[in-house]
Amino acid sequence: NLDWLDTIHKANSESPAFDEKFIYKRNEIQANSIDSILKKNTLFVGVGAAHLPGERGVIELLRRMGYRLRPIYMTKRDNQHKETIDKIRVPVKFQTEKSPDGFFQVEVPGKLYSYDKEDFFSQSHFADMANGSYYMVTRLRTHHRIWGDSEKDILRKTDSVLYENIPGKILSKTPIERNGYKGWDVVNRTRSGDVQRSQIYVTPFELLVFKVSGRGEYIRQGEEAKKFFESIKLKEYLAGSGVNWKPSFGGFKADFPHEPYMSINGDRFFEAVDKTNGMQFSVQHLNLTNFEQAGEDAFELQLLKESFGSGEYIDTLLRSEYTHSSGYPSLDAVYRHKQGQLVRARFIIRGPHVYSLIAQEPKSNTKADIKNIRFSPASDMFFQSFSLVPFEYGEEKEFQDSLMNFTIKSPWFPVKKNTIQLTPGYGRKIDDEWALNEFAQDNGRIKRYANDSTGESVFVGFNILPRYKEVEDSSFSDLNELPWLENSEDSARQVRYTREFTAKDSSKNWIYHLSDSGSSRMLRMHLRYKNGTYLAVFTQGDTLSAPSAFVRSFFEQLAPADTVKGYNPFTKKSTVFFTDIASGDTLTRQKAFNAVEDVEFDSTDLHQLIQTIEGLSWKDKKYLEVKSTMVRKMQEITTPASSDHLRKMYFQVGDTLSLQHTILNTLLSQQTAYAFDQFRSIIRREPPILEAASDDNDAYVSYGSYDRSGYDDDDFISTLEDSLPLTKTIFPDILPLVNLDDYRKPIMGLLETLIDSNLVKESDYNTYFSKFFLEARHSIRKQKVAEKLKSIQKAASEDDGDERDYAPSYGNNRNGNTELSRYAAILLPAYDTNPDVRDFVTAACFGPEVLPSSPGVVAIFAVSLERIRCSMPAQPTDKHVTAKAIQRVILNFMESLRGQRQEFWSSVSPWRRKR
C-alpha cells in the first residue's frame, strides 16, 4: 500500500521544488527528531503516510541510521481481551497538593498542573493515564457580596444550574459542609457510561469544584476517589480575629477582620468578611503600565471613579472628593448600592500601581443624608489604617540571561519555565515581551521582567546596530533619541532628570526621568552603548518614592556581556557595502542588497553605485525591487554627474515603467535646479506612460497616477507637488502634457496646487485657458444633467415607496465635486478681467436648470475666489476661525452676485419663453 501511495504521489507531483521542500526536507527533519529522542527515551510518534514511503521516506532514512523497522498488521479486535485490560487497576500513590495561596489542600495521585489563569477563573489538573481517570480542581471567583448576594444565594443559584452543566445523568446530589463551607456532592454518569463525582463548595470569595472522573465504574469500585474527597481541607477564617495585615511582598498594610483571602491572578485581590455584621472589605491592586503617555492624576482618578460607578450593582454616586493617601494622589467616593446600602471607595495612584479600597456598609446603614453620612466604626478603621509601604524582596543573587546578554545581581529574577517553544510570534501578547516593539529592530529583541506578586515590571531591550548603520560623529545624537518626546504633540511632557556619562567599561550611558505635568507617574530609562551594541532598560515608577530593590538592581547592577560585539557606526559603511556586494558568497551579497536602505552614500560613492546598478541582471533575485532601491539611493548624491546618469539610465531602461517612474522620482528628490532641468528635458522628449492600454484597447489599467489613494514611493507627480518653487520653473514645459489622456488630471491637479500657492498666474497658462474654459462649461452641463436625473429617480422612488439613496451626482463624492472645484481654481484668476468667466460662475450658481450642488458649488467658487484675491491659506490652522471665515466669504460672494443674477435672468428669459 505504501508503494502504491508513493506511485500516486509521484504521478501527481506539483514540481520537484515542492517535493524537495514539503516532502523530503520534512522527512529528514522528522527522522532526525525521532533519532535524537530514541537515543535517550522511548517514543510513540505519528507520521503522515505521505512521508513514509520511498528511498527518501522516513522509513528508509531510519533504516540507514541503523534502526530495524517491521510492520504491525491490524487484526480483528478481541473484545474480551479489551475488557480484561480495561479492568486492570494500576495502583497509585497519593501526595499532598496545596494551592499557591494555601486556601486548600488535597491528596492527589500526582502533581496538579495549572492551566493558563484567567482573570476570575483557574483550574488545576492531574491525569492518571494508566487508569484512564483524572482529578481536577476549579476555582471561580464570584465577588458575590458586592453584588448583594450571600453564600446561601450562591448555593441556591449553583443548584439551579447543575442540571444544565453536569454532563449526562445526575445519579445523586447531597448537601455537604466542610470547614464551615457548605456545598453539594454530585455523582453523575456520562453518555459514554463513565461515572464522575464532584464536590462544590461556596466560600465568601469564590466557588470551588473538586472533581474525579474515571472509566466506567472506576471511581465507585476503588478507594481512590474516596481518599481524594475525604482529604480536602479548606482554610477557615475565624470571626473576631482582626489583624493589621501586610502581604509578604509588601506594598500596603491595613486592618482586616481576619487574614484576608488573597487572589493573584493577573490582578491582585485581598478580601475579608466581618461575620459579626456581614461587611466585606477588599483591596484591589492593578498594574497599569503605559509607556505611551502619563495622564494627569486627577483625570485618571476620575476614570477609576466612573469605572467603578458603572457597575450594574451601583445605583448612584453620592459624593466624591480628591484626597491624599500616604502622600499619593487619591479620590474618595461614596455610592449607593441598588439594594440600598452604602458602598465606600478610595482610589489611589502610585505610579503604574492603582489601589482600590472598597467597604460595603451594613444594610442598616442606608441613610440618604449626603452631607452627614456616617460610616460604621469598622469601615473607618479599615480606611484609616490603610497605608502604602515599600515592596519587599529577598536577598540579592546573581542571575544571567544569555538571550539578552547580561548578568545581574537582583533580589528577584523570573525562573525559566519548561515550556514548548512555539513558532516565533505565535500567541505573543502585545503587552508582554514586545510591548516596546519600536525598539526591537532587525537585530534587536526586548523582554519583560515582571513580578506577579508586586506587579512591578522592567523592560530590557538589546540591539546590535546594523552592519551598515552610520552615525556622522561621536556625539551619539542618533543613538539617544527620545521618541517619547519627539513623536508627541503633547507639550506637557517633561524631562525631570537627565545624565550622560562614560562608565568604567568605556560604555556611553544616558539616564532619563520623563513625566507629564500634573502626573505622579515617571518613566525611567537607562540607555547604554558599547562596541556596536545597544542596551536599554525601561520601567515606570512614580515621582514620590524611590524605586524598589528589584527595580533598582536593573538600573545599578545590570552588567552587559562583552562576548557580543556589533559594528562601529562611526566609520563610513558604503565601502563595506560595496565589498559585500562584490563578495562571491551569494548569501552575503543578498544580505547586502536587503540592507541597502541603511547605507548612506555621498558623491565619492557615485562611480561604485553606478557600477553596482549596472551589474544587476534579471537573474538576480528580486531584480526590479533591488534595482529600484539602488536607484532611489542616488537621490542622496545631488551632484550634476548623478543627475546626468539618471537621465542616461532613463532612456536605457526602455519601457520598464516601474524603473522609469523610480528614476524620475529620484531626479526630483535630489531637489536641485539642475536635476529639475534634467527632468524637464526627459519629460518633453519621452514622458513615461501613466496608464497602459489593455488587450482590447478599450479600457485602461491605472498605475496610480492621479488618484491620491494610488500614490506610492515612486510617484513623481506627487514629488512635483512637494517641491512647488522648483516645479514652478519647469511647469510651462510640462503643461502641454495636459493634452495626453493619462496626464490630464494629474497636470490639472498640479496647476491647481500652484495657483492655490500663488506661484502661477493666469498669464502662465493663457494658451490653454480656452480649453479649460470649454471643459468647465461642459462639466457644469454634465452636473446639471446628473442632478436632474437624480431628482427624477428620487421622485419616482417616492411614488413607489422606494427609500433607496441613489448614487451621487456626476463628479461628486463625499468631499464634493472635485472636478468642478479644480476648474474653479483654474478659471477664477480671470474672474475680475474676463466677463465670460463671471457669466460662467453666475450660471453655475444660479443657472436656469436644476441647481448643481446647491450650496456646495457656491462654496467652491466663493472660497477659491477669496484665496485668489486675499491669499487665503489652502490649509488654515484654526479650523473654528476658518469655518466662520468661509461662511462670511460665501455670504459676501452671494451678495455680490445679486446684481449679476438679475441681469442673467433677464438675458435668458426670452430663451426660456421660447422653450
pLDDT digits (tens, 9 = 90+) for 305-340: 999 999 999 999 999 999 999 999 999 999 999 988
Residue 212, pLDDT > 90, answer yes
Backbone angles phi, psi at 805, to 5 degrees: -100, 115
Average pLDDT over residues 75-89: 71
Q: In what order do the strands lie in the sheet with 113-114?
A: 113-114, 121-128, 133-141, 206-213, 195-202, 181-189, 169-178
Q: Contact, 319 vs 333, CB < 8 A?
A: yes
The pLDDT of residue 188:
96
Q: What is the pLDDT of residues 464-504, one digit of tens each?
A: 888 888 877 665 655 555 554 554 555 567 888 899 999 99
The string of pLDDT tens digits covering residues 827-869 is 878 877 888 887 777 666 655 443 444 455 565 566 566 655 5
pLDDT of residue 709: 38
- Which position has the higher pLDDT, 290 or 580? 580
Q: Residue 880 has what pLDDT?
A: 38
Which range has the worst mean pLDDT, 92-106, 343-357, 668-682, 738-752?
A: 738-752
pLDDT at 689: 87
In this prediction, residue 50 carries a pLDDT of 85
Q: DSSP letters of 21-53?
A: IIIIHHHHHHHHHHHHHHTTS-------GGGSS
Beta bridge partners of 134: 127, 213
Rounded Cα–Cα distance for residues 598 and 574 (Å) = 10
Q: How far apart are CA 372 and CA 365, in angstroms?
A: 12
pLDDT of residue 138: 94
Q: Of 65, 4, 69, nearest to 33 (Cα)?
A: 65
Asked if residues 692 and 700 have their Cβ atoms less than 8 Å apart, the reply is yes
Q: What percent of the chain has pLDDT over 70?
A: 78
Residue-wise pLDDT for 758-810, tens only, equals 888 888 888 898 998 898 888 877 777 777 787 787 777 766 665 555 444 44
Q: How far apart are alpha carbons 244 and 255 in whole angstroms?
A: 4
* pLDDT confidence tier of residue 725, bands split at 50, 70 and 90: very high
In the Cβ-directed half-sphere of 498, how many Cα atoms lie within 13 Å?
A: 8
In contact, 788 and 806? CB cutoff 8 Å: no
State the amino acid at position 145 in one-letter form: R
> How crowded is residue 369: how many other Cβ atoms within 10 Å of its Cβ?
8
429 or 776, greater pLDDT: 776
pLDDT at 683: 92
Beta bridge partners of 350: 353
Domain coordinates in residue numbering, the chain = 2-64, 94-234, 243-391, 397-416+429-560, 574-729, 784-914
pLDDT band at 425 (very low <50, low <70, confident <90, very high): very low
As a whole number of angstroms, the distance between CA 591 and CA 593 comes to 5
Question: Does 236 have pLDDT greater than 60?
Answer: yes
For residues 232 and 244, is the Cβ–Cβ distance under 8 A?
Answer: no
Q: What is the pLDDT of residues 408-417, one digit of tens each?
A: 999 999 876 5
Q: Are 313 and 276 in contact (CB under 8 A)?
A: no
Strand partners, 287: 353
Class of domain 94-234: alpha beta
Q: Which of 53-62, 273-282, 529-538, 881-890 has the lowest mean pLDDT?
A: 881-890
Q: Architecture of 574-729 per CATH?
A: Alpha Horseshoe (1.25)
Q: Is the pLDDT of residue 913 over 50?
A: no
What are 874-897's pLDDT values in tens digits?
Answer: 444 443 334 455 455 555 555 555
Q: Which cell numbers in the block locate residue 170?
A: 445526575
Q: How many CB atoms are closer than 10 A to CB 383?
A: 18
161 or 789: which leads in pLDDT: 161
Confidence (pLDDT) at 887: 53
Task: Using DSSP, state whether 504 is helix, strand or coil.
Answer: coil
Residue 871 pLDDT more than 70? Answer: no
pLDDT, position 800: 65
Please provide the DSSP assignment of 146-197 as one string: TTT--HHHHHHHHHHHHHHHS-SEEEEEEEEEETTEEEEEEEEE-TTS-EEE
Write down the pLDDT at residue 846.
56
Contacts of 272 (CB under 8 A, 6+ apart): 237, 256, 257, 258, 259, 260, 261, 280, 281, 282
436 contacts 457 by C-beta, under 8 angstroms = no
Q: What are phi and psi of 787, to 5 degrees?
A: -65, -40
pLDDT at 601 over 80: yes
Place domain 243-391 in its CATH homologous superfamily: Mog1/PsbP, alpha/beta/alpha sandwich (3.40.1000.10)
∠ Cα 410 411 416 (to 5°): 75
Burial of 88 (0-12, 13-18, 19+ CB in 10 A): exposed
Provide mean pLDDT across the span 176-186.
Answer: 95
Helix, strand, coil % over all residues of the chain, rounded to 5: 40, 25, 35
Residue 305: predicted pLDDT: 95
How far is residue 347's CA from residue 358's CA, in Å, rounded to a whole number?
9
What span, in angstroms and rounded, lies between the C-alpha atoms of 889 and 322? 49
Query: Which of 677, 653, 447, 656 lies closest to 558 in space, CA to CA?
Result: 447
* Cβ–Cβ under 8 Å, residues 263 and 141: yes
Write out the three cell numbers for 637.
548624491
The backbone torsions φ and ψ at residue 584, rounded to the nearest 5 degrees and listed phi first, read -75, -10
pLDDT, residue 830, reads 83
Query: Got the DSSP string for 224-277?
Result: HHHHHHHT-EE----TT--EEE--TTEEEEEEESSSPEEEEESEEEEEEEETTT
Instruction: Specify whether the CB–CB gap between 174 and 185 falls below 8 A.
Output: yes
Supply 16's cell numbers: 520537484
Q: Which fold has domain 397-416+429-560?
A: Protein Transport Mog1p; Chain A (3.40.1000)
Q: What is the mean pLDDT of residues 220-248?
A: 89
Per-residue model confidence (pLDDT) at position 359: 94
User: Has residue 654 got a pLDDT over 80?
Assistant: no
Whether 94-234 and 574-729 share one fold: the answer is: no
DSSP-derived pairing of the beta strands 314-325 and 328-337: antiparallel
Query: What count of residues does the chain have?
Result: 915
pLDDT band at residue 349 under the 50/70/90 scheme: very high
Question: How many Å apart are CA 372 and CA 460, to the nearest integer?
Answer: 52
pLDDT at 864: 60
Burial of 884 (0-12, 13-18, 19+ CB in 10 A): exposed
Among 87-101, 201-215, 232-246, which is the least confidently predicted range? 232-246
Q: Record the pTM.
A: 0.69
Pick the range with the lowest mean pLDDT from 45-54, 457-466, 508-517, 899-908: 899-908
d(CA 124, CA 513): 43
What does the pLDDT read at residue 402? 86
Q: Is the CA virtual torsion 525, 530, 531, 537 positive or negative?
A: negative
pLDDT-derived band at 267, boundaries 50, 70, 90: confident
Q: What is 537-596 written as a DSSP string? A: EEEEEESSSPPPHHHHHHHHSEEE-SS-----TTS--HHHHHHHHT-S-HHHHHHHHHTG
